[in-house]
Amino acid sequence: MFTCKEYKKAATLEEAWQLNQKRSNLLIGGMLWVKMGHRSVGTVIDLSDLGLDTIEETEEEFRIGCMVTLRQLEKHEGLNAYTNGAICESVRHIVGVQFRNTATVGGSIFGRFGFSDVLTMMLALDSYVELYKGGVIPMSEFVSRKRDRDILVRIIIRKRPGSFAYQSMRNTKTDFPVLAVAAGRIDGRLFISIGARPMRAVQLVTDAKNAADAGLPDGVLETISEGGKITPEQAKALGEYAAGAVAVGTNLRASAEYRQELIRVLVKRACLAL
Ligand SMILES: Cc1cc2nc3c(=O)[nH]c(=O)nc-3n(C[C@H](O)[C@H](O)[C@H](O)COP(=O)(O)OP(=O)(O)OC[C@H]3O[C@@H](n4cnc5c(N)ncnc54)[C@H](O)[C@@H]3O)c2cc1C
């Protein structure tokens, strides 16, 4: 059971940050993950009065407050137009509508869960995390950082000419993914992220520098950089490359061998969808 002695709705980010420095206190988003554990905390710190529950869209970027729910991501027209529906696809399998109406973007990203669809998706976009004390850092850097007691204020997605796709495999509907893949073609570079390996999602970048090292066949890079259609042969080669480049593991949902096979298939499908 999860219990707390006090509940505090923070009036400012500074107040929330000060309270969160005490190890016995706990910052919450939707509280859906933390309530699953057995834990007794001093004060739970709620950010829901700070106006961080909106998605702002400008010509250059999307600014997604940490208290935005997964359902807001799923339904946001601008985000889904920009990502070719990939954002919606990345969250729509998570449990159910009521759940997604409560689970927050802040809790999903700050948790850096190995199974995270949301994190996998963000790693294929030009995305950043804005931390209250730590400033703005690329998502790819944040994902491998050690957990600290900072506050994730918002996610920033910079708009770049590109296309995006998302694929996941689940043993049964609404379960955690067995493997998740997101692909983004941004400014002539290909970003592939692989999540639910079952370790934390990783990002692979294919550009002029590493295409030869990756053993990709001639023409793949040109196709990517010139915005041409990726052929089935090229998509297959990209799947092979990703399967060889990313470490996978075994857990109760699937073996490492099965996950490696899934990488081949899902990366191929995502690249064809691009
Ligand atoms: C049964 C179940 C099934 C799930 N299935 C999936 C799935 O298939 N795919 C998937 O991607 N996810 C899945 N999730 C995870 C879910 O989508 C959310 O990511 C998760 O619940 C965390 O979001 P939350 O808002 O509930 O955060 P909380 O549980 O409130 O917080 C999670 C952690 O983040 C910290 N935190 C929260 N907000 C902030 C912030 N702004 N700054 C700093 N730290 C913060 C908290 O202190 C806590 O440590 C599942 C969760 C559950 C419980």
Structural domain count of the chain: 3
190-211 mean pLDDT: 89
| pLDDT for position 222 | 80
| Ligand 1 atom closest to residue 174's alpha carbon, by position in its atom list | 8
Clarify whether residues 101 and 177 are in a common domain: no
CB 128 within 8 A of CB 106: no
Clarify whether residues 11 and 91 are in a common domain: no
Ligand 1: residues whose CB is within 6 Å?
26-34, 36, 66, 70, 94-95, 103-104, 106-108, 110-111, 115-118, 151-152, 176-177
49-54 mean pLDDT: 98
- Position 223 confidence tier, pLDDT thresholds 50, 70, 90: confident
Q: Which domain holds residue 257?
A: 162-273
- Position 43 confidence tier, pLDDT thresholds 50, 70, 90: very high
Clarify whether residues 35 and 102 are in a common domain: no
CATH of the domain at 259: 3.30.390.50
Clarify whether residues 22 and 90 are in a common domain: no
| Ligand 1 atom closest to residue 103's alpha carbon, by position in its atom list | 25
Clarify whether residues 154 and 166 are in a common domain: no
> Which of 135, 158, 181 finishes a domain?
158
> Which of 139, 158, 177 finishes a domain?
158
**What's the 257 CA to ligand 1 centre distance in angstroms?**
28
The bridge status of strand 202-206 relative to strand 55-57 is unpaired
**What's the 56 CA to ligand 1 centre distance in angstroms?**
22
Clarify whether residues 123 and 178 are in a common domain: no
> Which of 158, 183, 199 finishes a domain?
158
| pLDDT for position 208 | 66
Q: pLDDT of 114-142, one tens digit each?
A: 999 999 999 999 999 999 999 999 999 99
| pLDDT for position 227 | 78
Choose one of 28, 46, 70, 152 to mutate for the ligand 1 pocket test, by most ligand atoms within 8 angstroms of C-beta. Answer: 28
Clarify whether residues 37 and 72 are in a common domain: no
82-108 mean pLDDT: 98
Clarify whether residues 199 and 119 are in a common domain: no
CATH of the domain at 109: 3.30.465.10
